[in-house]
Amino acid sequence: MSTKSRVSFSQSLAKWIAPGIGIKRWLLLLLAGIFVAALGFAFFILNFLTAQNQQYQPVNWLFPVAAIAAGILMMSVSLFGYAHWLLLPYRKNQPAGIIDTAYAYSKRHKGIKVVAIGGGTGLPSILRAMKPYTSNITAIVTVADDGGSSGRLRRDLGVLPPGDLRNNIAALADDESLMTQLFQHRFNRGDLGGHAFGNLFISALASVTGSLESALIETARVLNIQGQVFPATMDEVDLIARVYIGGKEVTIHGESAITGAKGRIEEIRLSPPNVEAFAGSVDAILNADIVVLGPGSLFTSILPNLLVPGISSALRATKALRVYVCNIATQPGETDHFSVADHVLALEQYLGRGMIEVILANNAYPEENAGKNTVYVMPIPQDHEILQRYDVWMDDLVDVERPWRHDPEKLAGVLLQNRPQVRQNSVNGSVQKEADSLVKT
């Protein structure tokens, strides 16, 4: 690139006027259009002047009007041809209309600045919710993952586990695109069995570029994603938990083992504790309009991000609206029997009060499609202390097909459009009572 940028202006000009490159026809047509329109315009003025002085016979009014119309037509055709020619090398196999692409790009580029913090499974619903409205989305995800394909790559190649990064990058990409499908493709046979292609992609790019940061930038480019996905930290970090299992307290290392233990999590921490926050993540939080925590596993997806000291400092410093999106269903081995209030109290235990301003929780508990394993998160009891400390927004957020998950469109509606209405809902006791009746005892 460096040699290309050094070519002189005259060389560049020479290319514009080089024979046969297809641009001159459009510029000539533009000039011809201007000439014809100007001719019509000149005679228009002439007619106007002569109309005041009967000595000259005015030319036919039809000529100026026709010439101006013809000139405008020629200029329009030329501008379309010019645009088409310019875009040819860039549009290969990109069938979407030029103006659709330009319009969507321009609109999303000016959208609100959203930061979503969480992990692999819950966060994509926020990202899918926001990507039609803005390109200014930053997903911050944990890299403490040590299970599955990510865990194998972490052990085999010594790279940061890419799984959570991958899922969120895919959520910000065009779901229909072949590259996104490829990215989420899992090999099912042989040595490669179980590996997600996107994990191999990120890992190989990290090896080639020498850094995960460059790998993420290039991945974003190839998948043409809206926004960016950053790790909370680039340091290698493990998750350690004190867990009660059958009355005994044990210390468990590693995200996948903690979730697998199915005990009651007493405390969770990072090892080492003082890892450095990724600068891009800190910047994104400080410059955001809205920061959304979750949805996602409280102890293994959300808290591992917030336990990075730089991330929680940035959260305290930002002027963004800070919203905690509570899960719809409880997670076995992590948040059994947790109400919305229990989730928030757990956050307060680690982060203190004042870290978040708004609690966004679901108030629809459909039985259809829920299956036996879906245990809905219980609503906040009506006189609970946290109702004083936080703005609570409650709304129907469930995906009707899989009601243990958030519906991206409903989430977007609440976060972007229906704020006042939702605020009212939160102090409306009838909603609370209806929800209370669903609590399992």
The minimum distance between CB 205 and a copy of itself, in angstroms, equals 6
Query: Which of 8, 10, 57, 221 is in the footprint of a copy of itself by CB under 8 A?
Result: 221
Give 230 or 404: the residue with its C-beta nearer to a copy of itself. Answer: 230
Query: Which of 207, 211, 424, 428 is in the footprint of a copy of itself by CB under 8 A?
Result: 207
Q: Which stretch binds a copy of itself (CB under 8 A): 96-104, 122-130, 263-271, 405-413?
A: 96-104
| Cβ atoms 143, 128 nearer than 8 A | no
Tokens of 336: 């059994």
407's CB contacts (< 8 A; 6+ apart) are 125, 397, 398, 399, 400
131's CB contacts (< 8 A; 6+ apart) are 108, 137, 171, 172, 226, 227
Cβ burial of 16 (10 Å; 0-12, 13-18, 19+) is exposed
Tokens of 150: 């990510």
Tokens of 401: 């097909």
Q: Which stretch binds a copy of itself (CB under 8 A): 189-197, 343-351, 412-420, 425-433?
A: 189-197
Q: Which stretch binds a copy of itself (CB under 8 A): 37-45, 239-247, 293-301, 384-392?
A: 37-45
Residue with tokens 């003082």, as numbered in its chain: 274
d(CA 145, CA 139): 16
Q: Measured between alpha carbons, how far is residue 105 from residues 40, 100, 102, 298, 377 in Å?
A: 38, 8, 5, 34, 38
Residue count, binding to a copy of itself (CB under 8 A): 86
Q: Does 77 bind a copy of itself (CB under 8 A)?
A: no
Q: Does 15 bind a copy of itself (CB under 8 A)?
A: yes
Q: Which stretch binds a copy of itself (CB under 8 A): 179-187, 227-235, 274-282, 382-390?
A: 179-187
Q: Does 83 bind a copy of itself (CB under 8 A)?
A: yes
Cβ burial of 370 (10 Å; 0-12, 13-18, 19+) is middle
Neighbouring CB atoms inside 10 A of 149's CB total 24
Query: Which of 73, 222, 279, 317 is in the footprint of a copy of itself by CB under 8 A?
Result: 222
Query: Which of 24, 25, 28, 35 is in the footprint of a copy of itself by CB under 8 A?
Result: 35
Residues 143-172 that bind a copy of itself (CB under 8 A): 152-153, 155-158
The minimum distance between CB 135 and a copy of itself, in angstroms, equals 10
Q: Does 106 bind a copy of itself (CB under 8 A)?
A: yes
d(CA 403, CA 425): 21
Where do the H-state alpha helices sit in 210-336? 212-223, 255-261, 279-286, 303-306, 309-317
The minimum distance between CB 433 and a copy of itself, in angstroms, equals 43
Greatest alpha-carbon span in the chain? 113
Give 192 or 250: the residue with its C-beta nearer to a copy of itself. Answer: 192
Displacement of CA 22 from its chain's centroid (Å): 39
Dihedral of alpha carbons 341, 342, 343, 347, sign: positive
Q: Which stretch binds a copy of itself (CB under 8 A): 208-216, 233-241, 356-364, 408-416?
A: 208-216
Query: Which of 70, 81, 218, 391 is in the footprint of a copy of itself by CB under 8 A?
Result: 218
Q: Which stretch binds a copy of itself (CB under 8 A): 106-114, 280-288, 338-346, 357-365?
A: 106-114
Query: Which of 70, 77, 98, 112 is in the footprint of a copy of itself by CB under 8 A?
Result: 98
Query: Which of 60, 181, 251, 271 is in the footprint of a copy of itself by CB under 8 A?
Result: 181
Q: Does 63 bind a copy of itself (CB under 8 A)?
A: no
Q: Does 16 bind a copy of itself (CB under 8 A)?
A: yes
Q: Does 41 bind a copy of itself (CB under 8 A)?
A: yes
d(CA 351, CA 405): 26
Q: Does 73 bind a copy of itself (CB under 8 A)?
A: no
